[in-house]
A = this chain, B = another copy of it.
Amino acid sequence: MQIDLEQMLRNVRNRKPVIHNITNYVTVNDVANAELAIGASPIMSDDINEAKDIVAICNGLNINIGTLNERTVDTMQAAGTYANQMKKAVLLDPVGMGASKFRMDVTKHLVNHIDFDVIKGNASEIKALMQGTMSNRGVDVGFDDVVTKDNMKKIAEEMNKLARDKKCIVAMTGEIDLIANGLDAFAVYNGHAEMSQITGTGCLLAGLTTAFIAANTDHMFAATIASICAMGVAGEIGYSHKQPYEGNSSYRNHIIDALYHLSASDLAEKARYEQII
Report how many copies the assembly holds: 3
Interface size class on chain A is 35 or more
Does A176 touch B at the CB level, under 8 Å? no
In terms of DSSP, what is the predominant structure of the interface of chain A?
helix
Contact present for A29 and B32 (CB under 8 Å):
no
Indicate whether A36 sits within 8 Å of B66 (C-beta atoms), given known contacts A24-B44, A247-B259. Answer: no
Q: Tell which of A103, A247, A255 has the most Cβ of chain B within 10 Å.
A: A247
Q: Which residues of A, 67-106, contact B by the 8 Å Cβ criterion?
A: 67-71, 96, 99-103
CB distance from A196 to the nearest CB of B (A): 9
Closest B residue to A27 by beta carbon equals: B29
9-residue interface stretch from A46-54, A158-166, A182-190, A213-221: A46-54
Closest B residue to A105 by beta carbon equals: B49
Q: Which residues of A, 216-241, contact B by the 8 Å Cβ criterion?
A: 237, 241
From B28, B247, B257, give the contact of A25 (CB < 8 A).
B28
Does A132 touch B at the CB level, under 8 Å? no
Contact present for A257 and B241 (CB under 8 Å):
no
Mind listing 30 A-B residue pairs with CB under 8 Å? A27-B29, A27-B32, A29-B200, A30-B249, A33-B198, A33-B248, A36-B198, A36-B248, A37-B248, A37-B249, A44-B66, A45-B100, A47-B67, A47-B70, A49-B100, A49-B102, A50-B100, A50-B103, A57-B99, A237-B245, A245-B258, A245-B261, A246-B253, A246-B257, A247-B257, A247-B258, A247-B259, A248-B257, A249-B252, A249-B255
